[in-house]
Structure 1
């Protein structure tokens, strides 16, 4: 038995005879961020990509007319080689249009390069296809970090799940019911661990507003890249010096709600 990718979906190929097989669709979903299935899937995709396969065993059992499987494999413990000391690749997840903003930040806090990655194609995919494409995207981002020799900075998963008033993510949480940002970040973290890339999680509160007020006009970049840049700077330990009038605005809840709403409408 072995796992295979068929048209973007995960199947288990089961030998039934001489060169005869049946294919069973895999419906397994990770139960939490520490689920070893995330690690196995990251290793499996990497093995397909590099053709450097690793051993695993699959055991099937029949229960009440349904087939259940268990997988055994050895967990690797790679050394962390790509750390924040060299800067970070910062990721900000945005809802309208749905995409990732990616900012490369030097160890001294400067914006070196940036790009956006559309996620619109994920919305129409089946769950299995979506999972597969998320793994591919996770590998792409981690490989970018390795290429640049940097760590990865993301929003804190706990804050992303519920968030708080004024964090700029209310509309994001509302719009992403067709795509789980949290599940994607779980995959990204697991791939990074396997490839020796440090992942720093930061509180995303006010990144949207500060990005709009300070870095978007200062660096002539859009609000989402500015948000990613701010996440990167926070991961490196930088604190933002804001003009006194801006500080007053950030403490004004009515203004924050107005700015965030207008921001989402205009972009």
Structure 2
């Protein structure tokens, strides 16, 4: 707080319709709803208000996907750190557009960038640890990949 920088956080919808499983067990639903998102958010906002620090809440849609595909390799960070980086950028007003290198895999280039991220996510459906290995230069052995992952990676390179 010594630099008086704003805080950017996800705006999570914690209503029962989003977090609860209507057909799941009552115990599981109770455990999900007991997590105090709202209390945590209000605590952060109250503390920041006392210290004179601004708090921005952003929609977390596609932050993990865009962070994984844009920043994980480039910055050498984990998927969680890259998602946090994307959330911070979104709080600054930046839009995470699909990189030019990945634009070739998108059919509708005029669609909203979230739709484009969704299409890429469906197309490049490989496990995160393989994605991380792939873009950090670590060797991936054939026995580590499924047949579909091998085909997807072959398309990329």
Q: Determine if the TM-score, normalized by the shorter chain, exceeds 0.5.
A: yes
Q: Which runs of 5+ in 1 are unaligned?
A: 1-145, 164-172
Alpha-carbon distance in 2 for matches of 1:257, 1:185: 34
Change (3 A) 1:176 1:246: farther
Report 1:164-175 matches (<5 A). none
Q: Which has the higher strand share?
A: 1
Counterparts in 2 of 1:254 and 1:223: CA distance versus 1, 3 Å: closer
Picking from 77, 84, 89, the partner of 1:228 is: 84
Q: Which residue of 2 aligns with 1:250?
A: 117
- After TM superposition, the score normalised by the length of structure 1 is 0.34
Q: Which runs of 5+ in 2 are unaligned?
A: 20-28, 108-115, 133-157
SS of the residue 2:95 aligns to: coil
Q: Cα RMSD over matched residues?
A: 3.5
- From the superposition, tell whether residues 247 and 212 of structure 1 become closer, same or farther in structure 2 (CA, over 3 Å): farther
Q: Against the structure 1 CA distance between its residues 251 and 202, is the aligned structure 2 distance closer, same or farther, given a 3 Å change threshold?
A: same
Q: Give yes or no for contact 1:189–1:199 (8 Å, CA) kept in 2.
A: yes
TM-score if structure 2 supplies the norm length?
Answer: 0.55
User: Structure 1, residues 209-233: CA drift from partner, whole Å, max 9, x if none?
Assistant: 0010010111000011111110110
* Aligned-partner Cα distance in 2 for 1:154–1:214: 20
For 1:256 and 1:186, the matched residues in 2 are separated by 38
Within the candidate set 33, 38, 48, 1:192 is matched to 48
Point out the structure with max Rg over C-alpha: 1
Greater share of helix: 2
- Aligned residue in 1 for 2:68: 212
Give distance in 1, aligned partners of 2:59 and 2:70. Answer: 18
